[in-house]
Amino acid sequence: MKTFKLVGLKIDDQSAEAKNIPLLDGLVINKEDGENSWLIEALISKEYLPFFEEHKEADRTFKMFVTISKVSNAPAKISASVNTITVLDESVSVLFDGRLLTSRPQYRPEELLESLIDQGLSGNALMDAFKETIQQREYSTKM
């Protein structure tokens, strides 16, 4: 097993726009079991307790995007469900069971870059547009 620091969490339960969950702390464990199984623990504000209790009670599976180690890393897409909710004094610990979803981009980065250059972008504007477009495509890809 490998353990990583959780630095970003976004939930896409398809009920609305994906919800960014501010973290107080977090941990991600890659079980390395050959099944792409992960455990994710998120320490969050109590204001999110009803949201996660509803998901646990409904035994709902949803897509989540977890960013590990550094906020600049691309988020990993995981199909997850709430395993355990532990209410602490000033926060809530939510433990998720998940499976890493591997998805190949529906585009080639070279084609995207060529398209942006054809639009007249260069330098920092090109780099910003490239990063933004890739991030949008990653978050909009559905299971």
- Output the CA angle 23-25-29, nearest 5 degrees: 110
What pTM was estimated for this model as a whole?
0.70
Q: Which residue has the higher pLDDT, 111 or 64?
A: 64
Beta-bridge partner residues of 60: none
Give 41-92 pLDDT, tens digit per residue: 999 999 999 999 999 999 989 999 999 998 888 889 999 999 999 999 999 9
Range of the domain at 129: 109-140
Confidence of residue 111 (pLDDT cuts 50, 70, 90): confident
Residue 137 reports pLDDT greater than 90:
no
Provide the token pair at 84.
Answer: 């355990």
pLDDT at 143: 37
pLDDT (average), residues 115-142: 78
Q: Are residues 90 and 125 in the same domain?
A: no
Q: Are residues 11 and 53 located together in one domain of the fold?
A: yes
In sequence order, what DSSP letters do the residues of the chain get, joined into one string?
-EEEEEEEEEEE-SSSSPEE---SEEEEEE--SSS-EEEEEEEE-GGGHHHHHHHHHTT--EEEEEEES-TTSPPEEEEEEEEEEEE-SS-EEEEEEEEEPP---SS-HHHHHHHHHHTT--HHHHHHHHHHHHHHHHHH---
Same domain, residue pair 90 and 52? yes
Residue type, 24: L
- pLDDT at residue 46, as a whole number: 96
| Same domain for 23 and 42 | yes
Quick one: 49 and 116 in the same domain?
no
Q: Quick one: pLDDT at residue 19?
A: 87
Q: Which of 24-33, 94-103, 104-113, 122-131 has the lowest mean pLDDT?
A: 104-113
Banded model confidence at residue 142, pLDDT cuts 50, 70, 90: very low
pLDDT in tens, 7-34: 999 998 776 678 899 999 999 999 888 8
